[in-house]
Amino acid sequence: MELDFERCYRAVDSRDPRFDGWFYTGVTSTGIYCRPSCPATTPKRQNVRFFPSAAAAQGAGLRACRRCRPDAAPGSPQWDVRADLVGRAMRLIADGVVDRDGVPGLATRLGYTERHLHRMLQAELGAGPLALARAQRAQTARILVETTDLGLAEVAFAAGFGSVRQFNDTVREVFGVTPSELRGGRSGGATAGGAGTITLRLAYRQPLHADALLDFLALRALPGIEEVRDRTYHRGLRLPHGPGTAALTPAGGHVAATLRLADMRDVAPAVARCRRLLDLDADPVAVDAVLADDPALAPAVTAEPGVRLPHAVDGFETAVRAVTTQQVSLRSARTTLTRLIAATRSDDDGAADGAPGGLRAFPSAAEVLAAPDPAFRMPGARRETIRALARAVVDGELDLDAGGDREEAARRLVALPGVGPWTAGYLAMRALGDPDVILATDLGVRRGAAALGLPDTPKTLTAYADRWRPWRSYATIRLWRAA
């Protein structure tokens, strides 16, 4: 990745927080790296280097600034937007795939050789997959050291390190202090709330229209799986090492996240999925700038800046919900799904102890596939479509999660019986995070277009929507709100 020195330096000199996560500032005279908005005195030009990733800065022998905490900055918006190998790899690394399956497992998920994957990441980010995963482990370790009472050896393995020695060496190298010194300097940015519980702040780029996010999620909330109460979104999670729950509350400048986990090794995946669900790594200024160029959308953008695109914590769950919602109301679909959830309950999807309201994760693809016919209170054709989806996921033929190939997933989806362009587009937008989808046949989208005086037939709306590229998914959200 090429970084223009003058543009980066101007961002650092102005302490512009919009660039946090886009790049990192290395200060050779002090041996530290910072986020662009670091409040410290702007370093001299001759003492500055810019890096595309924290891992690249660490590889150059720099340690993280203890004042601006660059590891806590929002992630680069590129990794949610890009559908190429590097974007998919970064989403999977954030989800902890390297920690669980190693680089071979990551390469297998992506369908490339380890050598090619390393070469691409090194060229784009200045670091290979192991270094990128190591940087994330260091961040997770800092969170656990500063916010829980776990023993340091427990922290080491919970963060994904293979040994306590590796953990000690990495913390000392990245943060310039030992783990015990890091614990002694707790910042108060997060707290522990009992065994298996951690509360921390999820940073984002402002502005964030929190009401739009909560409205969207509340309208579609499934009883027993999720709920919105007192401006807090609660939901059950299925995580790699066990069940968990998340409570997410938008606050000034951050989202307060309380995670209740059966296994603390799931901190990084839980954080990554919550960030993705709320679209916290987006660049709302860039999105709104394009949409505001359209006079029809400009008043809405001015009145409600920072409307996000809610993604998914479970791609299969989103697929089942999309199919169930076809040709029926959200209320009717909710009733149907509630019955399916009740019929497929198992001990494996239980929530962590003490979860509010007994929230659990949505049934897995294997559980849905094994459900008897009476569990599906819907037409037979739709039931078989859901089973075909579940079978494709169980067999590994369809990947609807963060690292999935968007084009390949779309091809496989439309090949399934009962899955049409609307369902494939909706899943591309929400499950796979495609920022440039217009659901022109959607009734709510067409009603929103009509309310704003825009063309409201599928053909004319599709043509008109070209002016919203590459953010047509965000325009779709705004049209739903206009409806």
Place of tokens 């050291």: 145
Nearest to 40 by CA among 30, 50, 53, 49: 30
For 434, phi and psi rounded to 5 degrees? -70, 120
What is the three-class DSSP state of 41?
coil
The packing angle between helices 85-94 and 267-277, to 10°, is: 130
Rounded to 5°, angle at Cα 60 from 54 and 65: 50
CA triple 62-67-73, angle to 5 deg: 80
Under 8 Å CB-to-CB from 119, ≥6 apart: which residues?
A: none
If DSSP codes are grouped into helix, strand and coil, which group holds residue 337? helix
CB 94 within 8 A of CB 136: yes
Cα torsion angle, 180, 185, 190, 195, sign: positive
- Asked whether the CA dihedral 358, 360, 362, 367 is positive or negative, the reply is negative
Any long-range contacts for 241-245 (C-beta under 8 Å, 24+ apart)?
Answer: 241/265, 241/266, 242/266, 242/352, 243/348, 243/349, 243/350, 243/351, 243/352, 243/360, 243/361, 244/270, 244/351, 244/352, 245/351, 245/352, 245/355, 245/356, 245/359
3-state secondary structure of 391: helix
Amino acid at 228: V
Beta 63-64 vs 197-203: how paired, if at all? unpaired
> Mapping DSSP to helix (H, G, I), strand (E, B) and coil, where does residue 399 land?
coil
Residue type, 479: L
Residues identified as active-site: 34, 442
Which strand (E) or helix (H) includes residue 172? helix 164-175
Rounded Cα distance, 339 and 336, in Å: 5
Q: Are 413 and 444 in contact (CB under 8 A)?
A: no
Q: Kindly state the tokens that stand for 189.
A: 């940015």
Cβ atoms of 174 and 160 closer than 8 Å: no
